Structure 1
Amino acid sequence: MNNSELNSRRVSATPRGVGVMCDFYAERAENATLWDIEGREFIDFAAGIAVLNTGHRHPRLVDAIERQLKSFTHTAYQIVPYESYVSLAEKINQRVPINGPCKTAFFTTGAEAVENAIKIARSYTGRPGVIAFGGGFHGRTYMTMALTGKVAPYKHGFGPFPGSIFHARFPDELNGVSTQDAMKSLEYLFKADIDPKQVAAIILEPVQGEGGFNIAPDDFMTALRALCDQHGILLIADEVQAGFARTGKMFAMEHYPDVRVDLMTMAKSLAGGMPLSAVSGRAEVMDAPGAGGLGGTYAGNPLAVAAAHAVIDVIEEEKLCERAQRLGHELTDVLALAKRDNAAITDIRSRGSMVAVEFIDPLTGNPSAEITRLIQKKALEAGLLLLICGTYGNVIRFLYPLTIPDEQFRKALQILTCVLTNI
């Protein structure tokens, strides 16, 4: 069996709607390295879309899953509960940057966490409206598609979407959208579309993922918190991609020490490759839904919960927050040098190891998805796996495991430098 044969089988057996980026198939992986079924080796700077902050098959996670596998694999927590779910909730409650007593509920996917955060907010406030932001990504279910602020490819042909969902502008200095502009767009929504007293929640990513790693400015977060307090609106941070040491702190909201949200969603690197998500929030808010209003058959699966315990231990014991900051600085230094000689690079954005570089056509100044795809292609040919994002598909994001060996990281930077200086 080779990649070409398997690709033909995939096309015949699976629908085109499940888009696949690579034309090769994984056979095994270790930390930051992937091997395909033909034996080729790749440095993984995608990490399963920010899922593997602790790397592929970290020994601590493998051991935790194996030990749980020998005990039991499923009971449905709502039927027969287990201690590991409770102790993981306690562990997260101690760490989330939320004021006062906190509670946490577990689910399976990031979209499921976001949907449940909206359910909780509506239950607590008794209001229907939810405001999200252009460029934000919150999932592929109907509610989360409605919240997502990007049409292609996520919304094409799938409407209509749930009502009482509105979008405001997200600050974007590169494209001339200031914090003041963003706040004015919220004020306009309140004048034209929905009474603020009918808004249950405002949801945002502190660092937009799919939108291009756009970082929410400090003054924007402060203004949002004040606006929510003024109108009795809950503020929700979607940390599905930014959480668990990626930004140099356990959670991205820790970069805003004077701002505390009411609810947080998390998934991806929470369980290091096992399907687990969570909603954490102020205890009184989390307790708004009645018994049975939250849950799911696989919500808080014991194998995934065991992995999550190990993930948190690894992050703290191996000081991955500090390592994320150091690796992020090394990468941005390399990108800054490349920018001097590559007129296509228009912006470099970073928060810890949540790093992105944006490309334009030097002749027109317009966003260039073509140049971005070419860079991704050349890097892949050299053995480096990169992901593209951004509203215009002109941003490369870097999501390497934070456990990547230094020597391998620097080899990846050499590949990246070579590609960027020869485009």
Structure 2
Amino acid sequence: MTSQDPAPPASGERLPQERRVVTEIPGPRSRELHERRTAAVPPGVGSVLPVYVTDADGGVVVDADGNSLIDFGSGIAVTNVGNANPRVAARVKAQAERFTHTCFMVAPYESYVAVCENLNRITPGDHEKRSFLVNSGAEAVENAVKIARYATGRDAVVVFDHGYHGRTLLTMTLTSKNMPYKQGFGPYAPEVYRAPLAYPFRWPTGPENCGPEAAAQVVDQIEKQIGASNVAAVVIEPIQGEGGFIVPAPGFLPALAEFCRANGILFVADEVQTGFARTGDMFACEHEGVVPDIVATAKGIAGGLPLAGVTGRADIMDKVHGGGLGGTYGGNPLACEAALAVLEEIEDGKLTERARRIGEVMLPRLRALAERVPAIGDVRGRGAMLAVELVRPGTKDPDPDLTARVARRCHERGLLVLTAGTYGNVLRFLPPLVISDGLLAEGLAVLDAAFTD
């Protein structure tokens, strides 16, 4: 690194920041715990990693057998500031010793207000905003749609191919992928319409045409099939998460936002996975200067505690009648203190710059790997939200079997990676923003070896 490159902030790491494989993975203790799990937990609750975690810190996760794995998952973009971050842990501990719950709708407290003030400050746009807090990303997206329908008096909602928005009835409806998220759980919510996404790797006329052609198709579909005057909201992930870390082609998001403004449609950004410095900007919309009407946030907001937010234009948010928004646990005081600590860590530690640095380190290595491995059809992402899409060499046919084998080999060698994609053929990488450059390089070497194997 040069003197100008942002280094991972000192987080007072308790654990050695090293990969250490001392047993087969999963080891005997994890296998024993899995037997207990099988008897107690339904099989519908899946897990990526076949180990049981006892500790985590910085860029490593330690399992019940003493194996230390490099973390390229961050709990699905949750522990951006590192697991058990000392500042987060200290504020949560102090709050737990005062009170753990009153319900903000019964007896409010300052930390909830402070989190909302910060969300109003840091989300895109300098207009007046309002925020309120819920528990999960799905709740945030569902409330964003609820508010959009209330504020516009319209019913229709437009979402996109490959999109993922949650597991509640409405957000499951908004989600594109059937297995495992939707199969057998219908019927689904009405007045939800799906449009094509600007997916550069798979666009029929090539990536250079993708942005304008996809935007034109979406506009045409809305006007002819739904009617723009019937649409309450367009809901989109600025970079798709579960869909395979698809970065929409340049110009696509601004064109959609402009069409929405011209037709009284609310542009809702689902920044649940992309928010809080993950992509090298505080929010992914900022990369193309898009200012949403409503932003849904969660995951990285509170360092691992359940918290989510809905932030929108004041004139929209203020329309909902008293008592129309809320929830028993939304904005729990422990989670609010964690969120305030996370925001301090991001800003004090310059973690947006650090995310960009991670991308600068990883992208060239991934592209070099793609030159040697014909099965890597695409390398994409932004900041510390990166992915490779695996295909059968010489084609664009998805290869989910190879993807699963590579992921499994990474796990066996002590690297936690995640899969994604509508076709199950994407390896995604979400390292904590505080990971050391040494661990980052070692994780990439493990990935390289997994492909070589």
Letter of the 2:101 counterpart: H
CA distance in structure 2 between the partners assigned to 1:214 and 1:263 by the alignment: 21
Q: CA deviation at 1:140?
A: 0.4
* Counterpart for residue 368 of structure 1: 399
Q: 1:239 aligns with which of 271, 277, 287?
A: 271
How far apart, in 1, do the equivalents of 2:117 and 2:123 lie? 10
In structure 1, what is the equivalent of residue 14 of structure 2? none
* One of 29, 33, 52 as aligned partner of 1:25: 52
TM-score, normalising length: structure 2: 0.91
1:209-248 mapped onto 2 (5 Å cutoff) = 209-248=241-280
Correspondence 1:317 to 2:348? yes
Q: 1:131 aligns with which of 158, 172, 189?
A: 158
**Do 1:202 and 1:236's aligned partners in 2 also have CA atoms closer than 8 Å?**
yes
* 1:96 correspondence with 2:123: yes
Partner of 1:352 in structure 2? 383
Determine whether 1:206 maps to 2:238.
Answer: yes
- Judge which range, 74-83 or 208-217, deviates more: 208-217
Unaligned runs of 5+ in 2: 1-27, 205-209
Root-mean-square deviation (CA, aligned residues, Å) is 1.3
Q: Are the equivalent residues in 2 in contact too, given 1:99–1:282 (CA < 8 A)?
A: no
Q: Secondary structure at the match of 1:246?
A: coil
Name the residue aligned to 1:293: 324
- CA distance in 1 between partners of 2:73 and 2:344 (Å): 23
Match of 1:105 in 2: 132
Q: How far apart in 1 are the matches of 2:395 and 2:434?
A: 40
Q: Is the 8 A contact 2:130 2:314 kept in 1?
A: yes
Moved more, 177-186 or 161-170: 177-186
Letter aligned with residue 392 of structure 1: Y
Deviates more, 1:22-31 or 1:314-323: 22-31
Shift of 1:363: 5.6
Q: Using a 3 Å threshold, how does the CA distance of structure 1 residues 36 and 321 change in structure 2: closer, same or farther?
A: same
Contact 1:26/1:36, CA 8 A, preserved across alignment: yes
Hey, what's the Cα distance between the residues in 2 that align with 1:189 and 1:13? 47
- What do the CA deviations read for 1:238-290 (whole angstroms, capped 9, x no partner)? 00000000000111111122x21100000001001000000001011111211
* 1:148 counterpart = 2:169: no
For 2:65, give the aligned amino acid: E
State the Cα distance separating 1:179 from its structure 2 match: 2.6
Partner of residue 10, structure 2: none
**Contact 1:98–1:282, Cα closer than 8 Å, also in 2:** no
TM-score scaled by structure 1? 0.97
* Residue identity matched to 1:73: T
Comparing 18-27 with 375-384, greater Cα deviation is found at 18-27
Taking a change above 3 Å as real, the CA distance of residues 185 and 151 of structure 1, as seen in their structure-2 partners, is farther
2:222 is aligned to 190
Matched, 1:119 2:146: yes
Aligned residue type for 1:193: Q
Q: Percent of counterpart pairs with the same letter?
A: 44
After superposition, give the CA deviation of every residue in 1:148-169 in whole Å (9 maximum; x if it has no partner).
1111111100111010000000
Shift of 1:102: 0.7
Give how far 1:365 is off: 4.0
Q: What amino acid sits opposite 1:104 in the alignment? A: S
CA distance in 1, matches of 2:77, 2:40: 27
Q: Structure 1: 5+ residue runs without aligned partners?
A: none
**CA-CA distance at 1:403 after TM superposition:** 0.5
Please say which of residues 83-92 and 310-319 is displaced more in the overlay: 83-92
| Distance (Å, rounded) in 2 between the aligned partners of 1:316 and 1:275 | 21
- Give 1:46-61 correspondences, 5 Å limit: 46-61=73-88
Is the 1:372–1:388 Cα contact (8 Å) retained in structure 2?
A: yes
Task: Report which stretch shifted further, 34-43 or 74-83.
Answer: 34-43
Equivalent residue for 2:187? Answer: 160
1:198-252 alpha-carbon deviations (Å, 9 max, x no partner): 1100000000001111112331112111211221100000000000000001111
